[in-house]
Structure formats: C-alpha cells, structure tokens
Amino acid sequence: MRRLPWSLSLFLLSLGCAPTQRQTPDAGAPEARPQRLAVNIVHTYPHDPSAFTQGLQFHQGQLYESTGEKGDLRRISLEQAAPLWKESLPDVFPEGLASDGERLYQLTWQDETLFVWNGTPPAKEKQVAYAGEGWGLCYWRGQLVRSDGTSTLRFHDPKDFRVKSQVQVTLQGVPQEMLNELECAEDGVYANVWHSNNILKIDYATGRVLAVIDASALAQAVRGRVHSYEAVLNGIALEPGTGRLFLTGKLWPDLFEVTLVGPA
C-alpha cells in the first residue's frame, strides 16, 4: 500500500477518518460499522437519589439493585423510591449484580470478594475471593460475565468464580475501556461506559461492539436534580418475559423504562 503524505495523514486524522485498525490482519471481511441507536423514554419511575447504583437486575420476578459506597443489596419497585427490603454491606464497596434464576451474585469494587445470595429474601450463602476489580456483572448461558474497568470482559464459572475465558471489547478495532454495569441479552451484552452517556452492545464471542446507544436523553431528563460529579448513567435491567428495558444512574432520582430507536 502506498503511504499517504504526512500532511494528508494528519488532515485525515484530524477529521477522525484515519484508516481503522482491523482486529486481526486476516480476519476476512472488514469489521461492520456498529449500529447507532438512541433511547426513547416510555415511563419515568421513582429511584432513591441516595442509591449509588452499581447493579440493576431482575431476579425471580422482582427488581434488585446493588448500591456502592456505603452499599447494600436491595429489592426495589417501580412504585416507590424507598427499597422494599435491603441488607447493608458496610465493610465493602458493592458493585455489579447478576442472577442465574436461582441465586444472586454481587461483585465488590476492590474488595476482591463475590457475594452469593440465595432464598427469599436473599440470604448470604457464601463469599468467593477473586483477583482484580469488580465493576459490572451479568449471567449468560451458564457463565458470569464480569467487567473490571478495562476493555476486557471475563467469563467466570458461577460455581467457583474461576475465569474460563475472556474477550477484548473493540469498536472498529479500538479497545473500549471503562466498561461498567452490564446486562446480558440474548443477542449481546449491554455495557455502560463509565462517565459517558453511551451504552455499548457487544458480541459475546468476538467482543466487537454491535451498537452504540446514546442515552444522553436520560442525563438531560435528570439535569438540575443531581448534585454529584459521580451521578452518572449506570444501571441496566432487561425484564425477562416482557423484554422491557430499564435504565438509571448513580444518585439519580428517576428510573426510566426506555425503547431503543434508530437515528432520527
């Protein structure tokens, strides 16, 4: 391939249209452009503005939330902001939350401890140690998917939380870091990007970003009613059966039911 003159390369770079890196040189067809989607607010529900949301997850027909900072595990509802049930976790910084239908799995940020909950109301069944940070967690086809703030998603065995495999998340070849709250859907894993209004939809097998969802309409909706730099979009839950999609943020007063829409 002929090299572009230096000045032209710089010009193209400044336009953001530098040649995109391919993930592997012999990967065959070039990586498809991700879909660009936005959110449409269907309903607005109350959310506890003191909840530092780190995980949002349906479990046995109920909605659960993991909150960080001075955190807890709580059962919440769409009717009221106050939790219906909660158990405080004063010694750790709780993070992502996942359900395998029977148990709840709750990460911690830097405490290297996974909590496994069982029963109704959930009771702590065991704690499992792991290495590294815990950010988001979701369950898909017998595996727990964990983000840790890097561009890597790790797939754990729920039995002992051993890492079985991992994948790097890329958007047109560029690694995507700061992946936070997760939600496992049939056709991809949704990931909040920390301190951004974007949610990425990621292919489980290749790590490629399939869609970039612009959720800035939600930050817009809570503007003026949040008072912390850390009050960012974080919290994705898909309701089994109905497919309804709920999104919220840390310290946000609202929890939104949304639909995804194509570009205007």
For residue 86, give every residue at least 6 positions away whose Cβ sits within 8 Å of its Cβ, in sequence order, or none: 72, 73, 74, 75
Q: Give yes or no for residue 143 binding ligand DDQ (CB under 6 A).
A: no
Maximum distance among all Cα pairs of the chain, rounded to whole angstroms: 66
Structure-token match 């730099």, residue found = 229
| Of positions 69, 87, 112, 203, contacts ligand DDQ by CB under 6 A | 69
Both tokens of 14, joined, read 């400044």
Closest CA to 186 of 164, 165, 207, 204: 204
Residue 48, binding choice from ligand DDQ, Ca ion, none, Cβ under 5 to 8 Å by partner class: none
Residues recorded for the chain: 264
- Taking residues 31 to 70 in sequence order and writing x for each that binds Ca ion by CB under 5 A, - otherwise, the string is -------------------------xx-------------
What does the per-residue mask of binding to Ca ion show for 182-201, with x meaning CB under 5 A? -x------------------
Dist CA 38 CA 184 (whole Å): 19
123-129 vs 137-140, strand pairing mode: unpaired
Q: What is the CA radius of gyration of the chain?
A: 19
Residue 31 or 95 having the CB closest to ligand DDQ: 95
Asked if residue 252 binds ligand DDQ (CB under 6 A), the reply is no
Does residue 135 bind ligand DDQ (CB under 6 A)?
Answer: yes
Q: Tell me which of Ca ion, ligand DDQ, none is bound by residue 236, counting a contact when its beta carbon lies within the kind-specific cut-off of 5 to 8 angstroms.
A: Ca ion
Minimum CB distance to ligand DDQ smaller for 134 or for 253:
134
Minimal distance, residue 247 CB to ligand DDQ, in Å: 16
- Tell me the number of residues near Ca ion by CB under 5 A: 4
Q: Hey, which residues does 97 pair with through a beta bridge?
A: 106
Q: Is 33 exposed, middle or buried (0-12, 13-18, 19+ CB in 10 A)?
A: exposed
The one among 76, 89, 107, 236 contacting Ca ion by CB under 5 A: 236
**Using CB under 6 A, which of 53, 99, 108, 180 touches ligand DDQ?**
180
Bridge partners (DSSP) listed for residue 261: 38
Cβ 190 vs Cβ 206: under 8 Å: no
By the rule CB under 6 A, 109 interacts with ligand DDQ: yes
Nearest CB to ligand DDQ, comparing residues 54 and 99: 54
Residues that bind ligand DDQ (CB under 6 A): 54, 69, 95, 109, 135, 149, 180, 194, 230
